[in-house]
Amino acid sequence: MRVTFNSFPDTLLGRLQSLGSEQNKALVQLSTGQRLAAPSDDAPAMQRVLNLRAEKKQNQQFYRNAIDGLEISKTSFSTLDQMSDLLTRATELSSNVSGVTSEQDFKAKFSEINQLIEQGLNVANTKLRGSYLFAGDASGSATAPFKADRDADGFISNFTYQGSETVAEINISETSSISTFTDPAENKDMAAMLNQLVTLRDSLKNQDANAVLAARTRLTDGDGNFEDKMLSTMSRAGSVQYRLETAMKDLEIRYEGTEQLISTDADIDFAEATVRLNRAQMAYQAAIQSGAMIQGNSLLDYLR
């Protein structure tokens, strides 16, 4: 068998390149802390990591949705609480009206309830980050959801709900969605309550004790019973908050679990990588030294 003159140098060069690649790979892994730099490193593990990263990104979006929804729900609850306070104050003012109520008392109560109505308009058209809270899925509309008509004297005479008849929902998991806004029926009840406050105010203006009592009764009892309706709306907002908080905790657990699975496949074992680097370096040095010794010999050295 004939061995060419360049056979050994070529073999040595190939071996040195292979050992150099092993060293570079180990160095990159130690510097980045990552075992996988390319699919060729471990194709099945790389596929698992890519799938887990996609799942993690999706869960992060669900978590952001839940955070935004929780903010909307909490602000809605606080705003509804203000509206409930307006209703409570209006019923308090009208509770002691009778046939012996003085003209001055009628005027004072009329003035205060009129201010409550004006405040009710502001509360009903509350915005959060530039979007209306009580407009259904038209929260980003430029038109306020509650329109107030005024009479010749500038007093509000009627409220009209002109928001959407549908409500927006957000996804908090692959299979679950939730609405964090009040629904159109609840918004219409709010408009009806404000209109009943207008009726109560006008009854006070007319100094009609019986009409005042009837208006107050429609606010607190019977088909109107806006106190119960407001409480029900606030209760639903509270249950939405609880569900969102529960979903966020679940997403946090899933996030941590996904991170651990990704770490199992992608993170480097520093001790093992260090051993591989030292082994490759020693083999590289040994190859150079042995190559230098062999290259220094000639045919005559073997013929002696």
The pLDDT tens digits of the residues spanning 195-236 come to 999 999 999 999 999 999 988 888 887 666 888 888 899 999
Sign of CA dihedral 266, 268, 269, 275: positive
pTM of the entire predicted model: 0.73
In a domain, 1, yes or no: no
Note the pLDDT of residue 21: 62
189 in helix, strand or coil? helix
Note the pLDDT of residue 1: 46
Residues 193 and 279 in one domain: no
Identify whether the C-beta of residue 166 lies closer than 8 Å to the C-beta of residue 136.
Answer: yes
In a domain, 90, yes or no: yes
Residues 106 and 147 in one domain: yes
Note the pLDDT of residue 260: 82
When divided into structural domains, the chain yields a total of 2
In a domain, 207, yes or no: yes
Identify whether the C-beta of residue 136 lies closer than 8 Å to the C-beta of residue 181.
Answer: yes
CATH number at residue 170: 1.20.1330.10
Note the pLDDT of residue 174: 87
Residues 163 and 288 in one domain: no
- Cα(212)–Cα(220) distance, integer angstroms: 13
CA-based diameter of the chain, in Å?
139
In a domain, 39, yes or no: no
> In this structure, which amino acid lies at residue 217?
T
E strand spans, the chain: 127-128, 131-132, 146-150, 156-161, 170-171, 177-178
Residues 273 and 249 in one domain: no
In a domain, 44, yes or no: no
Residues 241 and 273 in one domain: no
In a domain, 291, yes or no: yes
In a domain, 263, yes or no: no
In this prediction, the residues of the chain whose per-residue pLDDT falls under 70 are: 1-42, 222-224, 266-304
Residues 86 and 157 in one domain: yes
Note the pLDDT of residue 258: 87
Note the pLDDT of residue 29: 61
Residues 126 and 28 in one domain: no
Q: Which domain holds residue 106?
A: 54-258
